[in-house]
Amino acid sequence: MFMVQEQSGRKLMTARAYDNGIYLANNKDTFNFTGTTASDIFRTCCNRFGIPMGEVANTEYRIPELPKPRATAWDVISNALSLTFEATGIRYFPRCVGDNMHLIERRQHIRQWVIEPGVNLEDYTRKISIERVKTRIKLLSREGDILARAQNDALEKRIGVFQDVQLINDEMNPAQLNELVNAALAENNAATQSLQLSALGQTDVLSGTGVFAIVNALDISRTFYVEEDVHTFTEWHHDMRVRIVPAIDVVRPQPQQQAQGEIGIGDIVEFLGGHHFVSSVATNPANATPRRAGPARCNLIARGARHPYHLIGGAFINVDGNSNVYGWVDASTVRKR
């Protein structure tokens, strides 16, 4: 779809067109998913805004919770795919072919093209930035009341305080608010890195596909995924500019170790001690101090996730013992009683 058209006194007309992904990026709504796969989230977003679909890969992993108030459909899908990648190590990507939006498994779409100096590489730019890093997040109600907050003390000691405030839906319960604020902080804790290459154009090097890139000056020689592509045709010349990220899921990860014995929701299990996490895909523990061992109730299960069991210890409920676990834990720290 052509959305921008410009004409100048030099008798030059330029136009800007977008594929159907623009409907995902330009439509906002409130979303709240529980125990849903990224594939189903993708279908829901496309159906909600009348976007035709093609191939939709089966992402398998069920995301425990994904609340996104007043967000674009593209942001929701991107968050779902990020959580799926953290849990499974597999990257997926939405792309438009013709009129249809597809959800593809990226490692199945790696091209044989090599971008290298002296052959087709014209220029490169690598950027590392902390401009968007946040060390504190507050969630506020419409009345300005603080509903939840989170901060990274260790990071603040290094770079100072960078705070963001977000308005949120008051109807969310405390557990959902805590999950959301910690996920928001985790998303904004790391520096952003990007590598942009300018090279001789190839028409099938598009966002979602993979290429092999060699940049000797940066000691780079590996497979990358294309995140963004711009192709420029001038008379008989074709240039392309691509923004790429490392393809770290080319080798399928090994299955995660499972807990000893089959565990179900509501079971009283033995927590063996260790750290707990604010979500099943979190990278850092919720507390620096490990949680005490003892009996606990299994509250939720996210099979295949990094920390697949949500436990509530006896210190908080009517269960023997005084385990103070209250969060998502590794399978290796749980045993069926």
88-129 tens-digit pLDDT: 778 899 988 889 999 998 877 777 688 989 889 999 999 888
Higher pLDDT: 40 or 221? It is: 40
| pLDDT on residue 261 | 60
Question: Is the Cα dihedral 95, 98, 100, 104 positive or negative?
Answer: negative
Task: Give residue for tokens 């923004």.
Answer: 243
Contact 299, 311 (CB under 8 A): yes
Q: Which residue has the tokens 């159907």?
A: 20
Position 27 pLDDT exceeds 90: yes
On the question of pLDDT at 223 being above 90, the answer is: no
pTM for the structure as a whole: 0.57
Nearest partner of 245 among 227, 263, 219, judged by Cα: 227
What is the pLDDT, as a whole number, of residue 122?
A: 93
Residue 40 and residue 57 in contact, taking contact as beta carbons nearer than 8 Å: no
**Higher local confidence (pLDDT), 231 or 279:** 231
Average pLDDT, integer, range 28-39: 91
Q: What is the C-alpha separation between 137 and 307, in angstroms, rounded?
A: 23
Does residue 158 surpass a pLDDT of 60? yes
Higher pLDDT, 141 or 27: 27
Confidence of residue 135 (pLDDT cuts 50, 70, 90): very high
Q: How far from 186 is each of 17, 162, 249, 273, 274, CA to CA, in Å?
A: 34, 14, 21, 24, 21
**Mean pLDDT (the chain, rounded):** 85
Please state the rounded mean pLDDT for residues 3-22.
Answer: 85
pLDDT at 52: 95
**pLDDT above 90: residue 199:** yes
Q: What pLDDT does residue 47 have?
A: 95
In this prediction, residues 232-258 reach a mean pLDDT of 73
CA atoms of 138 and 190, how far apart (whole Å): 18
On whether the CB atoms of residues 39 and 57 are closer than 8 A, the answer is yes
Residue 242 scores a pLDDT above 90: yes
More confident residue, 177 or 162: 162
In terms of pLDDT, which residue wins out, 320 or 288?
A: 320
In this structure, of 8-12, 179-183, 232-236, 328-332, the range with the lowest mean pLDDT score is 179-183
* Secondary structure (H, E, C), 60-92: CCEEEEEEEEEEEHHHHHHHHHHHHHHHHCCCE
Instruction: Measure the CA angle with vertex 55, ends 54 and 57; round to 5°.
Output: 145
**Per-residue confidence (pLDDT) for residue 169, from 0 to 100:** 60
pLDDT digits over 248-306, tens only?
765 444 444 444 568 888 899 999 999 998 777 677 787 778 899 999 999 878 777 78
Give residue 98's region: left, alpha or beta (phi > 0; psi -120 to 50): left
